[in-house]
Structure 1
Amino acid sequence: MKLIILDRDGVINHDSDAYIKSLDEWIPIAGSIEAIARLSKAGWTVAVATNQSGIARGYYPLAVLEAMHTRLRELVAEQGGEVGLIVQCPHGPDDGCDCRKPKPGMLRQIAEHYGVPLSGIWFVGDSSSDLETARTVDCQPVLVKTGKGERTLAKGLPAGTLVFDDLAAVAAQLLT
């Protein structure tokens, strides 16, 4: 199985320090939907692991998050692809869960769902916590410069991190 795991905010859609709180605020980054569809059509399973502490903070209900993910699936389907498992951490930073990145719970949940080891699987993110999560479970850390990516790049990266301009460039690399 060819599996790739993506962070959501800042990788697939535009991010906001004020949180993405409504379907109207959920705006795909140019080329990201097409990139997911291209990967899917080429036999890749595209899973998503996303921290969504805005739920714990009361900024938006789970139904709004589900509507965003439904829209993501619809847009990718319109391009002939599909999105695999989407897992989210709805907890706040002080809740003590094992799923909030940089803890590896969501990645382990995806691996268990698909029955695959995480070693070497590409995990694409835009933040230091994404890269740290990847390293924790021996995934290949991949940074995109969209979202918080440029700020993350300026802080220094874990050894072996691959860097791309955006998700479209990641897909282009994997499909060459």
Structure 2
Amino acid sequence: MSKLIILDRDGVINHDSDNYIRTVDEWIPLPGSAEAIARLSKAGYTIAVATNQSGLARGYFSEETLHAMHQKMQDLVSSEGGKIDCIKYCPHGPDDQCNCRKPLPGLIEQISETLGLPAESSWMVGDSLRDLQAGQAMGCNVALVKTGKGVRTLNKGEGLNGVPVFEDLAAFTNFILNEPS
């Protein structure tokens, strides 16, 4: 079993918005997410984030703002005693024909190459079907959280056969660490 856990960002680690997370102030962690990441990190897991950020292509925010959001995320995890080992993002829009926009597996390939760890049998945790499809394309175990768009994804029900579902990232962490919820 790989010790790599790949997380989607918006809706898994922080609150999501249909209008995009455009500023550092709008980047608000979900309750317990930073602690959950730190617990996994302290237990010896390598933590990566794979996130579609088409707001860049749409001009809603700059790379500088995105990096500031990611610094805030890393600082919160660090303050809990953990770390995020790798963050990869797709800056493209839906029509840009890139290979990194989930459900395509490019971001997971980039994470695997950067960290020198195989994606096969790692975990991909997301709140949308496209997160899970990207993970499945790389041979990852996949898990759905009900935060963000997770309930909407669950209600659609397609493509979720046998996929474990968790209330949030903390519940997934309890599962991985074999601790009671």
Shorter chain as denominator, the TM-score bin is: over 0.9
* Contact kept? 1:104, 1:137, Cα under 8 Å: yes
In structure 2, C-alpha distance between the alignment counterparts of 1:116 and 1:47, rounded to whole Å: 11
Matched, 1:121 2:132: no
Deviation of residue 29 (structure 1)?
A: 0.3
Normalised TM-score (structure 2): 0.95
* Partner in structure 2 of residue 4 of structure 1: 5
Q: Give the TM-score, by structure 1 length.
A: 0.97
Q: Are the equivalent residues in 1 in contact too, given 2:109–2:119 (CA < 8 A)?
A: yes
Q: Summarize the alignment of residues 151-166 of structure 1 with structure 2, pairs less than 5 Å apart.
A: 151-156=152-157, 157-166=159-168
The one-letter amino acid of 1:170's match is F
Report how far residue 119 of structure 1 moved. Answer: 1.6
Deviates more, 1:74-83 or 1:3-12: 74-83
Counterpart amino acid of residue 77 in structure 2: V
Query: Residue 135 of structure 1: CA displacement?
Result: 1.4
Q: Partner letter of residue 8 of structure 2?
A: D
Whole-angstrom distance in 2 between the partners of 1:4 and 1:175: 12
Q: How far does the alpha carbon of each residue in 1:9-55 deviate from its partner, in whole angstroms, 9 at most, with x for none?
A: 00000000000000010000000000001111111111000000000
Give identity over the alignment, percent.
59
Structure 2 unaligned segments of length 5 or more: list them: none
Aligned length: 176
**What is residue 138 of structure 1 aligned with on the other side?**
139
Q: Give runs of ≥4 in structure 1 deviating > 4 Å.
A: none
Q: 1:129-174 CA distances to partner (integer Å, 9 max, x unpaired)? A: 1111111111111100000000000111333311100000011111
Structure 1 stretches of 5 or more lacking a match? none
Counterpart of 1:64 in structure 2 is: 65
